[in-house]
């Protein structure tokens, strides 16, 4: 979706390296959701951010939402092959329920 | 807790044929969503149900797509007749309430030849 831009489109890193994926909107977001998808499977919910400046972590994955609530980043520390997949950000652009998704970032972690 | 169930997982049909997909959401989830995900893109919402009522079907191609959730639990999505551009993964998701996180099923991969 052009309303939500993800970068980079794809990423190849060596196991053990850190990486960051970005999700940017031209509008203030009401909520930002990060999902992971493996090929041929559904989306796995990772984290939800709603407040400006909010930061959440789960295991080696940290997600942040900037103060303006227009940009979010997903950071993986000490990447592992199990982190490989497609990372999707989804956002609520208004007070309704509807989620708009970015096109995804394809991550490959080389052992 | 059982996740969102979908069937079939894969379907291959010829253009102009009909196809139906089934979804069973997580128990107790009032909100159910159908998404279409074309290869290389993020999911796009087709329709959202709150219990058995339609909340939003603005992006559903109603000339060929239909969906129902008669008893407020299971849902079916139908395409009749299918076009080549309908080839995609059809994802079903559910949430406890419409503003909370959505949980996705494994999807149905449709190929229209």
Q: B48–A103: do the CB atoms touch at under 8 Å?
A: no
Q: Model confidence at B98, in pLDDT bands (50, 70, 90)? A: low
Portion 39-68 of B in contact with A at CB < 8 A: 40-45, 48, 55-56
In chain A, the residue whose alpha carbon lies closest to the alpha carbon of B6 is A42
Average pLDDT, integer, range A69-86: 96
CA distance A64 to B43: 22
Q: How far is CA A17 from CA A57, A108, A111, B64, in A?
A: 17, 12, 11, 47
CA distance A66 to B20: 42
Average pLDDT, integer, range A69-84: 96
Q: Model confidence at B96, in pLDDT bands (50, 70, 90)? A: confident
Average pLDDT, integer, range A54-80: 95
Q: A88–B107: do the CB atoms touch at under 8 Å?
A: no
Question: CB-based contacts of B100: which residues, under 8 Å, 6+ apart?
Answer: none
Give me B72's structure tokens: 């407020």
pLDDT, residue B86, reads: 97
| B106 touches A at CB < 8 Å | yes
pLDDT, residue A94, reads: 81
**Which residues does residue A75 pair with via DSSP β-bridges, in sequence order?**
A20, A62
Which residue shows structure tokens 């909520």? A31
Q: B99–A48: do the CB atoms touch at under 8 Å?
A: no
Q: What is the mean pLDDT of chain B?
A: 93
pLDDT, tens digit (0-9, with 9 covering 90-100), for A24-54: 998 889 899 999 998 878 899 999 999 999 9
Q: Residue A72: pLDDT above 70?
A: yes
| Burial (Cβ within 10 Å: 0-12, 13-18, ≥19) of residue B2 | exposed
Q: Model confidence at B1, in pLDDT bands (50, 70, 90)? A: low
pLDDT, residue A2, reads: 65
Q: A43–B45: do the CB atoms touch at under 8 Å?
A: no
């Amino acid at each position: 979706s052009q309303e939500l831009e993800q970068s980079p489109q794809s990423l190849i890193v060596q196991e053990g390296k850190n990486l960051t994926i970005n999700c940017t909107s031209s509008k203030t977001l009401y909520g930002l959701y990060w999902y992971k998808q493996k090929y041929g499977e559904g989306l796995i919910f990772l984290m939800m951010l709603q407040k400006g400046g909010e930061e959440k972590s789960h295991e080696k994955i940290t997600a942040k939402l900037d103060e303006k609530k227009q940009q979010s980043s997903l950071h993986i520390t000490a990447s592992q092959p199990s982190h490989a997949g497609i990372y999707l950000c989804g956002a609520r652009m208004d007070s309704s329920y509807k989620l708009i998704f970015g096109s995804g970032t394809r991550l490959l972690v080389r052992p | 807790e059982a996740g969102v169930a979908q069937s079939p997982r894969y379907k291959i049909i010829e253009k102009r044929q009909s196809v139906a997909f089934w979804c069973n959401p997580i128990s107790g989830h009032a909100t159910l969503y159908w998404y279409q995900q074309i290869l290389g893109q993020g999911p796009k919402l087709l329709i959202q149900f709150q219990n058995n009522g339609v909340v939003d079907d603005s992006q559903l191609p109603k000339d060929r797509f239909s969906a129902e959730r008669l008893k407020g639990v299971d849902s079916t999505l139908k395409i009749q007749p299918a076009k080549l551009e309908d080839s995609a993964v059809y994802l079903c998701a559910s949430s406890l309430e419409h503003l909370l996180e959505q949980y996705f099923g494994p999807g149905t991969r449709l190929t229209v030849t």
